[in-house]
Structure 1
Amino acid sequence: MELFSIAARTSDPQEEECYISIITKANQALHKKYKTLSISCSVHEGMTFWRCREDDPRFIKGNVLQQIYGTAAKALAEYILQEKERELAEKILNEEFDFPEPEEHEQILKHCRMILEKNPEFGASWNRRSAMLEQGIQQCLSERPLLHVDGFLTFRAQSYMKELKEIVEYAVDEFIMDRQYEEFVGMLKYFVYFQQPQVPLVHLIHKGGQDVLLLDENLKPLDYRYDEGVVVERLDQKDLQMEDAVVTTLISVSPAKIVIHTREPHMAVIRTLTQIFEDRVEICRYCPDCHGYFRETGKI
Structure 2
Amino acid sequence: MKGVNSMELFSIAARTSDSREEERYIRMITKANQALHKKYKTLSISCSVHEGTTFWRCREDDPRFLKGNVLQQIYGAAASALAEYILQEKERELLKKILDEEFDFPDPEEHEQILKHCRMMMEGKSEFGDSRHRRSSMLAQGIQQCLSERPLLHVDGFLTFRAHNYMKELKEIVEYAVDEFLMDRQYEEFVGMLKYFVYFQQPQVPLVHLIHKGGQDVLLLDEDMKPLDHRHDEGVVVERLDQQDLQMEDAVVTTLISVSPAKIIIHTREPHMAVIRTLSQIFEDRVEICRYCPDCHGYFRETGKI
TM-score (norm 2): 0.92
Q: How much has 1:109 moved relative to structure 2?
A: 2.2
Q: Residue 78 and residue 236 in structure 1: after superposition, are their counterparts in 2 closer, same or farther (change >3 A)? A: farther
Secondary structure of the corresponding residue to residue 49 of structure 2: strand
Amino acid at match of 2:272: H
1:231 aligns with 2:231: no
Give the match for residue 18 of structure 2. Answer: 12
Q: 1:211 aligns with which of 199, 214, 217?
A: 217
Q: Deviations over 1:152-206 (max 9, x none)?
A: 0000011111111111111111111111011100111111011001111111111
Give the match for residue 265 of structure 2. Answer: 259
Q: Deviations over 1:5-42 (max 9, x none)?
A: 10000001111111111111111111122222111111
Give the match for residue 195 of structure 1. Answer: 201
1:22 aligns with 2:28: yes
Q: 1:168 aligns with which of 161, 164, 174?
A: 174
Counterparts of 2:117 and 2:83 in 1: how far apart (Å)?
Answer: 22
Counterparts of 2:221 and 2:28 in 1: how far apart (Å)?
Answer: 60
Segments of 5+ residues of structure 2 without an aligned counterpart are 1-6
Q: Residue 60 and residue 223 in structure 1: after superposition, are their counterparts in 2 closer, same or farther (change >3 A)? A: farther
Q: Residue 292 and residue 251 in structure 1: after superposition, are their counterparts in 2 closer, same or farther (change >3 A)? A: same
Give the match for residue 63 of structure 1. Answer: 69
1:46 aligns with 2:52: yes
Q: Once the two structures are aligned, what percentage of the paired residues are identical?
A: 87
Q: Residue 234 and residue 159 in structure 1: after superposition, are their counterparts in 2 closer, same or farther (change >3 A)? A: farther
Counterparts of 2:242 and 2:84 in 1: how far apart (Å)?
Answer: 40
Amino acid at match of 1:74: S
Q: Deviations over 1:222-249 (max 9, x none)?
A: 1333453222438997xx4422221100
Mapped contact 1:201–1:216 kept (Cα < 8 A): yes
Counterparts of 2:67 and 2:93 in 1: how far apart (Å)?
Answer: 39
Q: Residue 181 and residue 64 in structure 1: after superposition, are their counterparts in 2 closer, same or farther (change >3 A)? A: same
> What are the residue-to-residue correspondences of 1:272-287 with 2, within 5 Å?
272-287=278-293
1:137 aligns with 2:164: no
Counterparts of 1:174 and 1:95 in 2: how far apart (Å)?
Answer: 19
Amino acid at match of 1:250: L
> What are the residue-to-residue correspondences of 1:99-110 with 2, within 5 Å?
99-110=105-116
Secondary structure of the corresponding residue to residue 282 of structure 1: strand
1:35 aligns with 2:47: no
Q: 1:78 aligns with which of 80, 84, 91?
A: 84
Amino acid at match of 1:97: F
TM-score (norm 1): 0.94
Q: Residue 294 and residue 76 in structure 1: after superposition, are their counterparts in 2 closer, same or farther (change >3 A)? A: same
Mapped contact 1:235–1:243 kept (Cα < 8 A): no
Q: How much has 1:115 moved relative to structure 2?
A: 2.9
Secondary structure of the corresponding residue to residue 212 of structure 1: strand
Q: How much has 1:145 moved relative to structure 2?
A: 0.7
Counterparts of 1:282 and 1:148 in 2: how far apart (Å)?
Answer: 61
Secondary structure of the corresponding residue to residue 256 of structure 1: strand
Segments of 5+ residues of structure 1 without an aligned counterpart are none
Mapped contact 1:203–1:259 kept (Cα < 8 A): yes
Mapped contact 1:224–1:246 kept (Cα < 8 A): no
1:150 aligns with 2:156: yes
Counterparts of 2:64 and 2:214 in 1: how far apart (Å)?
Answer: 66
Mapped contact 1:6–1:51 kept (Cα < 8 A): yes
